[in-house]
Amino acid sequence: MKALVAAIVTQPGRPRGRGNKSIALPSLVAEQALSLGFSEDQILSPAKATEAAFLSQLSSIQPDLCVTAAYGNILPQKFLDIPKHGTLNIHPSLLPKYRGASPVQRALQDGAEETGVSVAFTVRAMDAGPVLAQERVAVGEAVQAPELLDNLFRRGIELLIRHLPSVFDGSAQQQATPQDDAAVSHAAKIEKSEGQLDFTQSARVLHNKVRAFAEWPGTTAMFHLEAAAGEREKDMVVKIIRTCVAEQTEPETIASTGSLQREVCVTRDRLLVPCAGGGLLDILDLQPPGKKPMHAGAFINGLKGRRLYVRS
């Protein structure tokens, strides 16, 4: 069996660049499609999937099957009625867990030790259709959202391809399993404000947040740097890129200093932040304001012996 991709549907292009240099460019999906030899006529970019012109164009193609992945647009029934064998969605969770916009991020934030990918038929409810196939995936302690998301979508594509014969012979609809509504959990859209780290939380909670929000919105912490000779003390918002959890073995090195609250334990190449519950967040990679991302050791060299604190 040979499946032919007749068209690509993607979000419209958005301006890139700054100020007067900002220009509208095709989406990254459209750019990839063009590089693979698809013509511009085969790339459909409606602002909304409800647009009459788009639905008419899709209908004229007469697709046997539509496949979606992270499209971010609710599909109307008029869309779902067009493909002969329905629409399948590749969703990076073990449905009915983590239905919604941010399944991978929320699973990492929750500290899930296992997740997976589902191929499910699309219905007029968020990620609620019958599941044709699933694959379980163990979640590593250090894996971050972009890496896990890429892994799950690659596995999802392979899963979809393996089940295409049953889709085209009409048996997939009967094989698909309805979801258990009693087991549903939701993965809410991420807000930018969630990226601020609060060190009154446990090191495990903060480490999971760093992993979950690695791509967007990122995680930040407010550091306070003591003054060097002839300089003023200063606060700085630092982007936290990669962390791990360490046990607190030297509690006497952790000081409480009133409003500053927590002194960072600085060794030759480690930044250890005391957190609630006695754990330490070991900051491995970070990005100070106006600087490029760097390892903790490079940042420590720039401290020149000055003490560092975090505000909680």
Do residues 61 and 44 make contact, with C-beta atoms less than 8 angstroms apart?
no
Question: Measured between alpha carbons, how far apart are the two ends of the chain, in Å?
Answer: 59
pLDDT (tens digit per residue) in 239-279? 999 999 997 555 444 444 444 468 899 988 899 999 988 89
| Alpha helices (H) in 138-293, listed in sequence order | 145-168, 172-175, 203-212
Q: How many CB atoms lie within 10 A of CB 5?
A: 11
Final residue of a structural domain among 187, 212, 246: 187
What pLDDT score does 29 carry?
93
Looking at the structure of the chain, the number of domains it has is 2
Residue, of 138 and 17, whose pLDDT is higher? 138
**CATH number where 283 lies:** 3.10.25.10
Instruction: Please indicate, yes or no, whether residues 74 and 61 belong to a single structural domain of this protein.
Output: yes
Final residue of a structural domain among 165, 187, 209: 187
Residue 29 lies in a domain: no
- Is the pLDDT reported for residue 123 higher than 80? yes
Instruction: Please indicate, yes or no, whether residues 305 and 200 belong to a single structural domain of this protein.
Output: yes
Question: Could you tell me the two tokens for 264?
Answer: 């960072």
pLDDT band at 199 (very low <50, low <70, confident <90, very high): very high
**CATH number where 155 lies:** 3.40.50.170
Angle at 78 between CA 74 and CA 82, to 5 degrees: 110
pLDDT band at 74 (very low <50, low <70, confident <90, very high): confident
Instruction: Please indicate, yes or no, whether residues 278 and 167 belong to a single structural domain of this protein.
Output: no
Least confident of 78-82, 191-195, 252-256: 252-256
Instruction: Please indicate, yes or no, whether residues 214 and 158 belong to a single structural domain of this protein.
Output: no
What pTM was computed for the model? 0.90
- Is the pLDDT reported for residue 86 higher than 80? yes
Residue-range definition of the domain harbouring residue 235: 192-310
Q: What is the arithmetic mean of pLDDT over 99-105?
A: 97
Instruction: Please indicate, yes or no, whether residues 104 and 207 belong to a single structural domain of this protein.
Output: no
Instruction: Please indicate, yes or no, whether residues 73 and 177 belong to a single structural domain of this protein.
Output: yes
Residue 4 lies in a domain: no
